[in-house]
Structure 1
Amino acid sequence: MTAEERPDEADQDRADRADRGEAGQDGADRGPLSIFDRDDEQDPSGEHEDEDEADAAPRRRRGRRLLLWTLAVLLVLFGGGFGALVWTAEHYASSVERIPNAFPTVPASAQPTAVPHSGQTFLLVGLDARADRATTGQDAKAPAWQVGAQRSDTMMLMHISADRKSVSVVSIPRDTWVPVPGHGKAKINAAYSWGGPALMVQTVQDLTHIRIDHLAVIDWNGFRALTDAVGGVDITVPRTIEAKGDAREWTAGTHHMDGAEALLYVRERHGLPNGDLDRTKRQQNFLRALMLRTMNSGTLSSPAKLTGLLGTVGDVVSVDDRLSNSDLYDLAWSLRAVRPDGVHFMNAPFGGFDTVDGQSVVLMDDGAAGVLWDAIRTDRMDDYLAQHRTSADTLGDNVS
């Protein structure tokens, strides 16, 4: 190469830096790109602490891949013109089954008033199995509900803050004794069996005075598939739990669980000291482990893993028919800044056990629960958690 053909060394250096994602405005260095980096955590001066270049380069590459694949799946829908990618994103969103008539038809005056600018609240319902899967033996997705076919195994309220920086997940134990509209008092999981999603939503709204924005239904077999799609999860059992009846023994230590073992973990309750309460904490602990595995295993930055995960979600999750494909894209993109420590799990405040008509039931502490429901309704969960972070109802690190 002649001297005339040789590029200016300063220009070449700037080009190399741009390729690595380091060049920002006015040549200021930027840190590695990541959809989980929040603006308020970056140094406003543009200066960063020195770090070993060998460690920094892989982080930059991982950050770029994570950003690019997230943009490919989500952002492309807003710009259009990328036919194959648009089709792929639309395909996966459309594969999520919609549930018709998922909300109560009672007058608006009889339902909680929606509070503007207070985030969104989802009701998450987990089932032992979909209505006809056990009887037909078919792999096709079965209807989410048939009259009397099954009771909801798990109920969780998931509140997403208006600023999209935090998520709060509150479990309501399935044996909680509550009024079910039109049926008197019963265990809360009976509502799904008697009236499907609409009665379940109405029962939870009447209990909490929180307006439910959307509903998602999944059976635990679906969680098994999701676990396998990310390569299993790591769950630590703090102390050995002896076998009891049909319940297996769980030895103390960290277990790498595939879908089948994780399903045993979340469904078991007879060997646990606090029965259904410990079971809900196990379910939350599993969801936390699944979330961490998804974020940390390279799933979001690997085309093959991401495709497999999206395909599995479409196969096992159903949502209400008010949640359009564009709503799903918007929701996923808006949550890009949420970090694992911004997701909080807890049980509805516990008021004790009781026996009613020969049934073992869970009682809610209505006074304490009222404070929690009000915090969700008015989007003040950060304040609530600051005051109740050490509560026994909040999920800790040591889960039986």
Structure 2
Amino acid sequence: MTDEPLSSPGEGTGSSAPETPYVPKYEKRRNRWLLVTVVAVLGALLLGAAGIAIYYGVSALNALNEVQRDPGLMPTGQRPSAVEPEDQSKAPLNILLMGSDTRGDERGRSDVLQLLHISGDRKNVYLMSIPRDSYVSVPGYGMAKVNAAYSWGGVPLAIETVEGMLNVPIDHTAIIDFDGFVNVIDAVGGVTVFNKEESSNGGYNFPVGNVTLTGDSALAYVRERYDLSGGDFSRAERQRDVIKAVLMKLASRGVLSDPGAFREAVGTLGSNFTVDSGLTNNEIVDLGWQLRSFRPDDIKSFQLPTAGFDTTADGQSIVLVDQTKLGELQQALRADDLETFYTSL
């Protein structure tokens, strides 16, 4: 089941937005693609910080230089073959987005696991949640929950596991921890999402309707699952909604027309990301140009198809992957035709 569109940030809050300087339509269009870029690459929270060097110069480049690049994130073993269209410049792009909860000295588990897929023609962007309890084959360990791969072998094994499940290579990965998540939300001045189910968590109450989230309340919002009818599935949907809301806020006139707000936002974003070493500044800028006509609210989000729940022999609760739909998803990814699969959900 696909997500419903987000309500506009600030709608129904009862407060009027402060007046901001007029920005010509050309500038707004240019700024939008620049910001949208960092979403596609830096981990679903922004991609445009890169190319905005055209508009804000040093701020954007400093943000990119703050991004942590780790040469040990990508797997080194046997991997699925690349999708090779006739025109190599139109190859699709798959980026694995991970949110890790590193409480204490433990590595933790990848509680947020999402695939960002960008079509070869750069006209469509998809965000697919992978339920953390999905029961899949983990290389070297057999069948297990997908998030166990991260705790056993870090990011490389998590990527290898997802690649094996989807039968396509992951081109890049971006990681943000929960502390970084809080910082990013606060850097953009909070976000507003449409909440479908009333819930409470961490001392915060979230009624049905538009809710405005700060960093701390957003963390409570996306961590809640026990009060939600869909459990982890509903939580994953909330995560996707918040990601889109952050992107929409970053591309909003209020942030783009305020140099101070822009510098704070992109500066915070850069320092809270870790990406693979292959995701260079130049590649981010190039991708930003390719996505120049794309808008954050055009992102299409959905969940990995599932087939119910089960329990393992040792008593673990697991999510079964719908193998028929998974086969269709694999074919769609390899044919660079995820739109057909998406519309069939």
Question: Aligned pair 1:275/2:231, yes or no?
Answer: yes
Question: Aligned pair 1:226/2:184, yes or no?
Answer: yes
Contact 1:299 1:306 in 2 (8 A): yes
Does 1 or 2 have the higher relative contact order (CA < 8 Å, sep 6+)?
A: 2
Structure 2: runs of 5 or more not aligned? 1-20, 35-47, 85-89
Deviation at 1:314, TM superposition (A): 1.2
User: SS in structure 1 opposite 2:51?
Assistant: helix
User: In the alignment, which residue of structure 2 is the partner of 1:113?
Assistant: 81
1-side partners of 2:147 and 2:49: how far apart? 40
Contact 1:169 1:345 in 2 (8 A): yes
What amino acid maps onto 1:105 in structure 2?
T
Question: Aligned pair 1:346/2:314, yes or no?
Answer: no
Describe the superposition over 1:313-365 as per-residue Cα deviations: whole angstroms up to 9, x where unpaired: 11111100111111122122322211244310000001111111211111110
2-side partners of 1:351 and 1:371: how far apart? 14
What are the within-5 Å matches in structure 2 for residues 193-212 of structure 1?
Answer: 193-212=151-170
Q: Percent identity?
A: 38
User: In the alignment, which residue of structure 2 is the partner of 1:362?
Assistant: 319
What are the within-5 Å matches in structure 2 for residues 13-162 of structure 1?
Answer: 61=24, 63-64=26-27, 67=30, 70=34, 74=51, 85=57, 88-106=59-77, 110-116=78-84, 117-129=90-102, 134=104, 149-162=107-120
2-side partners of 1:346 and 1:247: how far apart? 29
Question: Which of 305, 308, 330 is the aligned partner of 2:264?
Answer: 308
Describe the superposition over 1:270-303 as per-residue Cα deviations: whole angstroms up to 9, x where unpaired: 1111211111111111112222222224323432
1-side partners of 2:324 and 2:203: how far apart? 34
What amino acid maps onto 1:266 in structure 2?
V
Query: How many correspondences in the alignment?
Result: 305
Contact 1:165 1:342 in 2 (8 A): no
1-side partners of 2:303 and 2:70: how far apart? 27
User: SS in structure 2 opposite 1:298?
Assistant: helix
Deviation at 1:307, TM superposition (A): 1.2
1-side partners of 2:209 and 2:59: how far apart? 41
What amino acid maps onto 2:171 in structure 1?
D
1-side partners of 2:204 and 2:23: how far apart? 44
Which deviates the most, 323-332 or 173-182? 323-332
Describe the superposition over 1:141-166 as per-residue Cα deviations: whole angstroms up to 9, x where unpaired: xxxxxxx6211111111111112121
User: SS in structure 1 opposite 2:24?
Assistant: helix
User: In the alignment, which residue of structure 1 is the partner of 2:129?
Assistant: 171
Structure 1: runs of 5 or more not aligned? 1-57, 136-147, 392-400
Deviation at 1:212, TM superposition (A): 0.5
Question: Which of 286, 294, 312 is the aligned partner of 2:242?
Answer: 286
Question: Which of these two proteins has the greater Rg computed from alpha carbons?
Answer: 1
Question: Which of 278, 284, 294 is the aligned partner of 1:328?
Answer: 284
User: In the alignment, which residue of structure 2 is the partner of 1:318?
Assistant: 274
User: SS in structure 1 opposite 2:112?
Assistant: strand
Return closer, same or farther for 1:60/1:254 CA change in 2, 3 Å cut-off. Answer: closer
Q: Give the TM-score, by structure 2 length.
A: 0.80
Deviation at 1:221, TM superposition (A): 2.1
User: SS in structure 2 opposite 1:205?
Assistant: helix
Deviation at 1:66, TM superposition (A): 5.8
Q: Give the TM-score, by structure 1 length.
A: 0.70
2-side partners of 1:368 and 1:186: how far apart? 20
Deviation at 1:308, TM superposition (A): 1.2
User: SS in structure 1 opposite 2:225?
Assistant: coil
Return closer, same or farther for 1:305/1:239 CA change in 2, 3 Å cut-off. Answer: same
